[in-house]
Chain A
Amino acid sequence: MAISKFNYNSFNVTPVAGKALSFNSDADGFSTAGASSMVLIKTLTASSSSTLSFVHGSSSVVLDDTYPVYLFKLINIHSSGDSVTMKVNFRDGGSAYDASKTSTYFRTSHRENDTETVFGYAGGGDLANATGEQQISGGLGNGNDESGSGHMYLFNPSSTTFVKHFFGVTQAVAATPQTEQAFFGGYCNTTSAIDGVQFSLHGSNTMDAGTIKLYGIADS
């Protein structure tokens, strides 16, 4: 019995590497289509790490105009020290993470023993055209089961026209102990491209464990 197989170039559509064969929007022909619009670019795992850095062109990291929006997910970041905040900074040329930023920071928290609840702006966590690190969490506890998680969006980092906006939310077991949710947003006040993002903990503390994943939100 003859076996009839379709050849890749027998379909009335131009083959595109890595894309799937799909019906077009009118369902009367073929086209090519990609998978999900959220593409995992890189995973970094902490192991007594002072910093975790995502640098365009290094270790398969893409952080340019390939994607219009980038999303970082921080998963169970565990601090070596007690009551230590998570930080982020941005590279806008050269090797230093020192882009000038103006940002906001507010938080809500609730102690496990119910003795305190907080909701309010936290002036110690914001920046006013400053080049230092942006605080992105409350002070993490370092108990065995304590950690912090969250996410951060970075928009159009390669623009040389506009400032570069970022915003995010983190949730942590703070040292008190208490739950603490932090909300931060701001912009890198530069028209230079941002080509690197670095996460760290306050002071000389290290990330003993945890994962940070970088996703690109696809343009097409």
Chain B
Amino acid sequence: MALSKVDFNNINVTPAASKALKWNASANGFETGDIGGSMVLLKTLTASDEANRQFHTGTSGVVLDDTYSSYIWKFIDIHPETNAAQFTFNGSADAGSNYNVTKTTTHFAASHAEDNSEAQIAYDTGRDLAQQTGAQNISNEVGSGNDECGVGTLQLFNPSSTTFVKHFICTTNFYHASDLVLNNYIAGYFNTTSAITGIIFSMSSGNFNGTIKMYGIL
């Protein structure tokens, strides 16, 4: 028995990857577009004892260009294999061959020990960057105990601009190896007019576990 199915290119509209088929504004034809809401999940990468996780445009369904005005990553239960390792990220401007874009950043954190022996907020000159290409630290020394982990969000604005530097804002919360909470605030810019096409997450030492989700903001 023949199966009759509508083929993707039989609809009177030009197909667009990952876009929905919807009625046009006059309700007299089809068009492609996004459907409701402005926050779109683009990719989920899960780390299971991995050295890094990379989001590079054009790879494995990742979009990191002018499709969206900004991009958000959410880190969920990042758990290091090495005690006191630090969670980091960096950017690529050369199709993912290198993750070494020059950055100038700030980093401050509030901390509070479980035994109440320490409570403070302070700027961290050891974790900011001044025109440096190394990875940006977005945690402190993360504990590797069974229930110890960290979470956070990173927002990158207009990564495809070839006019402006590329700004980012990051907030994280980690369980420190010395049994205290650290609430970190990191911000800065990739000091380049080249497009940022890839982001890599890794630990300063050893592998890690956890989930990282990437969203586009329309």
Contacts and interface: CB of A to CB of B under 8 A. Distances in A.
Contacts of B185: 183
A10 B39 contact: no
B136 interface: no
A12 interface: yes
A166 B173 contact: yes
Interface in A84-143: 102-106, 120-121, 123, 126-129
Nearest to B63: A25
B183 A183 contact: yes
A217 B73 CA distance: 12
A102 B114 contact: yes
B8 A156 contact: no
A8 to B, nearest CB: 10
Interface residues of B, number: 55
Contact of A162 (B149, B181, B213): B149
A163 B119 CA distance: 20
Contacts of A103: 112, 181
A143 B151 CA distance: 37
Interface in B1-21: 4-8, 15-21
Contacts of A24: 8, 17-18
Contacts of B183: 104, 167, 183-186
A128 B150 contact: no
A159 B121 CA distance: 29
A38 B213 CA distance: 13
B176 to A, nearest CB: 10
A36 B175 contact: no
B129 interface: no
A126 B7 contact: no
A166 B173 CA distance: 7
A96 B63 CA distance: 44
B181 A21 contact: no
Contacts of A187: 173, 175, 181
A33 B21 CA distance: 10
A28 B8 contact: yes
If over half of B's interface residues share one DSSP class (helix, strand or loop), that class is named, otherwise mixed; here it is strand
Contact of A161 (B4, B147, B175): B147
A28 B15 contact: yes
B150 A22 contact: no
B119 A220 contact: no
Contact of A23 (B15, B39, B113): B15
Interface string B15-49: 11111111000000000100111111100100000
A37 B40 contact: yes
Interface string A29-41: 1100101111000
Contacts of B56: none
Interface in B125-152: 146-151
A23 B13 CA distance: 11
A162 B146 CA distance: 7
A33 B16 CA distance: 13
Interface in A1-54: 6, 10-12, 20-30, 33, 35-38
Interface of B: 4-8, 15-22, 32, 35-41, 44, 61, 74, 76-77, 79, 110-116, 119-121, 146-151, 153, 171, 173, 175, 180-183, 185, 211, 213, 215
Closest 9 CB pairs of A and B: A36-B37, A185-B183, A104-B110, A35-B36, A128-B116, A12-B5, A155-B151, A22-B20, A27-B17
16 contacts: A12-B8, A27-B15, A28-B15, A69-B213, A104-B110, A104-B112, A104-B119, A104-B181, A104-B182, A123-B119, A155-B77, A156-B76, A165-B149, A185-B181, A191-B147, A218-B41
